[in-house]
Amino acid sequence: MTRTRLALFGGTSAFYLIVVVAVLLSTWLVTLDWKIMLFRPYQQWPELHAFLDYYVVLGQRGPTAVMVAAWLGWRSWRQHTLRPLLSLGAALLLLNVTVGAVKLGLGRLGPHYATQVGSAELFAGGDIFPSGHTANAVVTWGILAYLATTPRARRYLSALSAVVALGVGLTTVYLGTHWLSDVLLGWAAGLLILLALPWCEPVIAVMEAWILAQRDRIRERLRARRRLVPSLPVASGGPRLFPAPTDREEPARETVGAAASHPRAARSRPSSDRLTA
């Protein structure tokens, strides 16, 4: 990991902790959450609602994972490596474990289920802090930039993933499904996962080598079976070089010359003496 990446990881971790502490202590950040919630952006700009209902799908884990996995699967096939798919799997695993644990641990309720104005709504059985849509958008679209093969492609894909993740997070605030602090923590959580992926590269390399070794073993077993098939004995179901004899035997056909030497044929033939008489 480079110094720049390490500095970004440390700074993002500090920001993550600041947001969590600010919500736990019900500071000005919680007050801002309530002001935005009571402002109800979806009522202020209702003409955007239909479009943003579809746009927020870019942060849902199922559809985005399928789309990105299809692209990375094609890349794996072209480059003859499993690293793109394994990197995506590792990122999604880290996302589910880290974000899911914090969601369940803090148990925050969403704006639509809030019970007390000005409260942080923590430890109430909810699961929206941090925002899973936002963190997923950062990870699934950011993995494309992480796996880019050229600096130019990495810059373009980084900008694209940042725009998508920013838009998904703000859309959840507009729709009223998340507090602003949920989105801030979701951005930080997703970025931390991308910054931590280089530490997972040795494990990814080991998994790739193991999977490819298992594939080669299976192929070798199949080839060995194919080589053994022609050498099977006939009694065990192997191929026959000649057709098997049948129970019914066809009668033997006599040749023309064989009739002259047959005793019955000789007796039934009239003698030459009688014919001359």
Share of residues in the chain with pLDDT > 90 (%): 72
User: CA 62, CA 129: separation in Å to the nearest integer?
Assistant: 19
pLDDT band of residue 5 (cuts 50, 70, 90) is confident
pLDDT of residue 177: 94
* pLDDT tens-digit series, residues 74-110: 999 999 999 999 999 999 999 999 999 999 999 999 9
Question: Can you tell me which residue has the tokens 């009694």?
Answer: 235
Q: Kindly report the pTM of this predicted structure.
A: 0.78
Return mean pLDDT, the chain. 86
Contact 70, 64 (CB under 8 A): no
User: CA 192, CA 184: separation in Å to the nearest integer?
Assistant: 13
